[in-house]
Amino acid sequence: MVRIGKVEIKSPLALAPMAGVTDLAFRTVCRELGAGYTCTEMVSAKALCYQDKKTRQLLKLGEGEHPAAVQIFGSDPVCMAEGAALAAEYSGADVLDINMGCPVGKIVSGGDGSALMKDPEKAARIVEAVMRAVSLPVTVKTRRGWDKGSVNVVEFARTLEQAGASAVCVHARTRSQMYSGSADWDSIAEVKKALSIPVVANGDVFSPEDAPRILKRTGADMVMIGRGSFGNPWIFQQAEAALAGLPIPALPPLARRCDTAVRQIELAVRDKGEKIAILEARRHFAWYLKGVPYAGYYKTEIMKMTGMEELYRIAEGIRRELR
Instruction: Please report, rounded to a whole number, the percentage of residues in the chain having pLDDT higher than 90.
Output: 97
| 253-311 per-position pLDDT tens digit | 999 999 999 999 999 999 999 999 999 999 999 999 999 999 999 999 999 999 999 99
Q: What is the mean pLDDT of residues 239-250?
A: 97
Mean pLDDT across the chain? 96
Contact 266, 273 (CB under 8 A): no
17 assigned to a ligand binding site: yes
Whole-model pTM over 0.75: yes
71 assigned to a ligand binding site: yes
Q: SS3 of 111, please? A: coil
| 180-231 per-position pLDDT tens digit | 999 999 999 999 999 999 999 999 999 999 999 999 999 999 999 999 999 9
Tell me the DSSP string of 60-105: PPPTT--SEEEEEE-S-HHHHHHHHHHHHHHH--SEEEEEE----H
* Residue 169 among the catalytic residues: no
73: left (phi over 0), alpha (psi -120 to 50) or beta: beta
Q: Is the pLDDT of residue 10 over 80?
A: yes
Tell me the CATH number of domain 254-321, given options 1.10.8, 3.40.50, 1.20.1440, 1.10.1200.
1.10.1200
Domain ranges of the chain: 2-244, 254-321
- Amino acid, single-letter form, for residue 181: G
Q: What is the mean pLDDT of residues 23-48?
A: 97
Q: Which of 70, 95, 72, 93 is nearest to 83 (CA)?
A: 72
Q: What is the mean pLDDT of residues 76-96?
A: 97
Tell me the CATH number of domain 2-244, given options 3.30.565.10, 3.20.20.70, 3.40.190.10, 2.60.40.2230.
3.20.20.70
226 assigned to a ligand binding site: yes
Distance between CA atoms of residues 38 and 18, nearest Å: 11
Q: Is the pLDDT of residue 54 over 90?
A: no
The H or E element spanning position 240 is: helix 234-244
Q: Counting Cβ atoms within 10 Å, is residue 122 exposed (0-12), middle (13-18) or buried (19+)?
A: middle
Q: Is the pLDDT of residue 323 over 80?
A: no
181: left (phi over 0), alpha (psi -120 to 50) or beta: left
253 assigned to a ligand binding site: no
Task: For residue 51, name the pLDDT band (cuts at 50, 70, 90).
Answer: confident
193 assigned to a ligand binding site: no
18 assigned to a ligand binding site: yes
Distance between CA atoms of residues 237 and 176, nearest Å: 32
Question: Do 2-244 and 254-321 come out as alike in CATH topology?
Answer: no
Backbone angles phi, psi at 194, to 5 degrees: -85, -20
The H or E element spanning position 244 is: helix 234-244
| 132-182 per-position pLDDT tens digit | 999 999 999 999 999 999 999 999 999 999 999 999 999 999 999 999 999
Distance between CA atoms of residues 78 and 124, nearest Å: 13
Q: SS3 of 131, please? A: helix
Backbone angles phi, psi at 220, to 5 degrees: -65, 160
178 assigned to a ligand binding site: no
141 assigned to a ligand binding site: yes
Which candidate in 30, 39, 49, 102 is catalytic?
102
